[in-house]
């Protein structure tokens, strides 16, 4: 074991007093005080519960053995099934028998291939007219992590999000009051769709090129890196707006989403420190978004920019943007088609009045949402291994746990008992952090600036190759392994990155081994 050293960055406790700062004028310009309505403390717990939660989530200082329950990152919902290619596709272990049936129905719809309209399979038509994939599973292969186009692989699990600058005072007002998080390209919408139904053309093709370079670590080890550049070729409907930015996004793993949804907002907001009041170099801030259903301001916690407040909303947006399927929450029967694409808007839809007012009516959206909420986090491996424990201490010493916060306790009043009052280990604070210009996409999404990204959860990261057959990481898969991913950290992650580069080979290997057990 390494001797315990002073942490290079102190891991802050949850501090409700900072919630006011996190929701202040800097984060929410133009909004009236109190408009968020977000709880600033755990209103689901008794005083005794709060004391227990604070004790169990307190950062450890003992790296001589694994912590209690550390091998169960999803609490009682953790899957203990055999680790293989299906490791991310199991249901939460604490579902009831009836809920397991609901999960299986949702899985069937998640895998369902949609077809273009009109079709004899009336419950399955409505695809597109422009789209990126025909099924949810096509993007979230094996419920895991997407990849950039590599060799002859397609771009099904990686998208280009499109956003342009506001042009008018009215557009600026829509962004300021959060009626919109950003503005789509006037011709190509909010996402580039490379596929289309018969008779139409896909919008264009994503082109990725890489510049190779080398980073030399303190001990002389050379690490090959690659810097991506993005463009679009074969634009079928004319030029994009000159201010439109391209933001590449690989599909993230689906595990543990229902547990993340039940982390109390106060516990996430209490970690925010947008002005770095404590001077530790970490300035995490929330992305506060407007709930389209209620109109209230709520905490965004899903997506690479923390732009989505709930799994149901995330599912509806994926149906509309990725597949071109309308739902009650997003009744866009023509998907992401714009007024500039007349032929697209003239195409037939798959709405069947006898089934509902959308192509994926409530029963479909409900089942896919339930499935997405209950994909289990696999149990950890080798938590007591000496090298793993050494790597865990390195993780803390470098300050990685300042953003990749190890643990939370979910809400006691969660709608589904399977998610209620669980000690979970996602290794994320679900806040936005500035990762520096090298990682920036220069695309604003709500409160997320061009260089800011939500801290991605690390649970399951060590099983990426087992499930998906690759080790591409970060928002665009530029990192080909965990070492490259760490070395891409800049901005608020720069000190941790430099600390990693200064480690000896044994400690670097221990850190990577620890991450591979998550």
pLDDT at 383 over 60: yes
What's the length of the chain?
518
* Sign (positive or negative) of CA dihedral 399, 497, 288, 259: negative
pLDDT at 239 over 90: yes
For the question of whether the overall pTM of this predicted structure is more than 0.85, the answer is yes
**Which pLDDT score, from 0 to 100, does residue 122 have?**
77
Chain-centroid distance of CA 61 in Å reads 29
**Which pLDDT score, from 0 to 100, does residue 40 have?**
83
**Which pLDDT score, from 0 to 100, does residue 152 have?**
55
Helix, strand, or coil here: 11?
coil
Averaged over 99-113, what is the pLDDT?
97
Give CA–CA dist 288/165, Å, rounded: 20
pLDDT tens string 411-428: 999 999 999 999 999 999
Q: How large a percentage of the chain has pLDDT more than 90?
A: 87
pLDDT at 3 over 70: no
Query: Residue 266 belongs to what H/E stretch?
Result: helix 265-269
pLDDT tens string 241-300: 999 999 999 999 999 999 999 999 999 999 999 999 989 999 999 999 999 889 999 999
- Band the pLDDT of 61: cuts 50, 70, 90: very high
pLDDT tens string 170-201: 999 999 999 999 999 999 999 999 999 999 99
Average pLDDT score, the chain: 92
**Which pLDDT score, from 0 to 100, does residue 187 have?**
98
**Which pLDDT score, from 0 to 100, does residue 14 have?**
54
pLDDT tens string 322-356: 999 999 999 999 999 999 999 999 999 999 998 89
- Band the pLDDT of 151: cuts 50, 70, 90: low
Contacts 24+ apart (CB under 8 A), 480-488: 480/226, 482/512, 482/515, 482/516, 483/223, 483/508, 483/512, 484/223, 484/225, 487/215, 487/223, 487/225, 488/225, 488/435, 488/438, 488/439
pLDDT at 15 over 90: no
Give CA–CA dist 161/142, Å, rounded: 23
Do 146 and 467 meet the contact criterion of CB atoms below 8 Å apart? Answer: no
Beta strands in 95-192 (DSSP E): 130-131, 158-163
**Which pLDDT score, from 0 to 100, does residue 38 have?**
84
**Which pLDDT score, from 0 to 100, does residue 13 have?**
55
Averaged over 127-143, what is the pLDDT?
95
Domain-by-domain residue ranges, the chain? 18-62+69-516
**Which pLDDT score, from 0 to 100, does residue 162 have?**
98
Give CA–CA dist 407/29, Å, rounded: 31
Helix, strand, or coil here: 227?
strand
**Which pLDDT score, from 0 to 100, does residue 83 have?**
96
Give CA–CA dist 228/251, Å, rounded: 17
- Band the pLDDT of 478: cuts 50, 70, 90: very high
**Which pLDDT score, from 0 to 100, does residue 144 have?**
97
pLDDT tens string 431-468: 999 999 999 999 999 999 999 999 999 999 999 999 99
Averaged over 43-65, what is the pLDDT?
96
pLDDT tens string 349-373: 999 998 899 999 999 999 999 999 9
**Which pLDDT score, from 0 to 100, does residue 17 have?**
40
């Amino acid at each position: 074991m390494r001797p315990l050293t002073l942490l290079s960055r102190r891991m802050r406790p949850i501090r409700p007093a900072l919630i006011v700062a996190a929701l202040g004028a800097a984060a929410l310009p133009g909004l009236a005080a109190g408009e968020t309505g977000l709880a600033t403390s755990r209103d689901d717990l008794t005083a005794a519960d709060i004391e227990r939660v604070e004790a169990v989530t307190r950062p450890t200082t003992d790296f001589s053995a694994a912590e209690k329950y550390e091998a169960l990152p999803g609490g009682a919902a953790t899957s203990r099934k055999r680790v293989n290619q299906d490791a991310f596709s199991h249901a939460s272990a604490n579902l009831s028998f009836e809920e397991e049936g609901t999960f299986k129905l949702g899985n069937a719809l998640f895998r369902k291939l949609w077809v273009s309209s009109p079709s004899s399979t009336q419950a399955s038509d409505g695809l597109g007219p422009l789209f990126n994939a025909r099924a949810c599973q096509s993007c979230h292969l094996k419920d895991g992590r997407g990849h950039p186009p590599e060799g002859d692989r397609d771009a099904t699990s990686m998208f280009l999000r499109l956003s342009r600058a506001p042009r008018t005072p009215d557009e600026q007002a829509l962004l300021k009051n959060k009626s919109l998080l950003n503005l789509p390209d006037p011709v190509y919408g909010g996402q580039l769709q490379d596929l289309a139904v018969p008779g139409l053309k896909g919008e264009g093709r994503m082109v990725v090129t890489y510049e190779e370079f080398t980073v030399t670590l303190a001990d002389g080890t050379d690490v090959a890196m690659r810097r991506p550049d993005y463009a679009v070729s074969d634009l079928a409907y004319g030029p994009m707006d000159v201010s439109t930015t391209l933001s590449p996004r690989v599909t993230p793993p689906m595990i543990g989403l229902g547990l993340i949804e039940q982390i109390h907002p106060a516990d996430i907001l209490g970690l925010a420190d947008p002005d770095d009041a404590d001077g530790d170099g970490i300035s995490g801030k929330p992305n506060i978004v407007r709930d389209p259903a209620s109109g209230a301001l709520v905490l965004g916690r899903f997506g690479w920019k923390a732009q989505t407040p709930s799994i149901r909303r995330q599912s509806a947006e994926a149906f509309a943007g990725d597949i071109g399927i309308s739902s009650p929450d997003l009744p866009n029967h023509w998907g992401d088609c714009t007024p500039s694409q007349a032929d697209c808007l003239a195409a037939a839809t798959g709405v069947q009045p006898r089934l509902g007012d959308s192509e994926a009516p409530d029963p479909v959206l409900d089942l896919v949402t339930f499935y997405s909420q209950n994909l289990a986090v696999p149990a950890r491996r080798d938590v007591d291994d000496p090298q793993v424990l050494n790597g865990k201490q390195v993780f803390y010493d470098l300050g990685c746990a300042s953003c990749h916060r190890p643990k939370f306790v979910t809400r006691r009043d969660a709608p589904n008992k399977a998610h209620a009052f669980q000690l979970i280990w996602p290794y994320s604070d679900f806040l936005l952090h500035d990762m520096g210009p090298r990682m920036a996409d220069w695309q604003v999404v709500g409160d997320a600036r061009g260089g800011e990204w939500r801290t991605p959860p690390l649970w399951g990261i060590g099983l990426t190759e087992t499930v998906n057959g690759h080790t591409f990481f970060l928002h665009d898969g530029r990192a080909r392994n965990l070492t490259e991913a760490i070395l891409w950290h800049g901005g608020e992650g720069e000190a941790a990155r430099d600390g990693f580069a200064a480690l000896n080979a044994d400690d670097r290997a221990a850190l990577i081994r620890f991450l591979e057990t998550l």
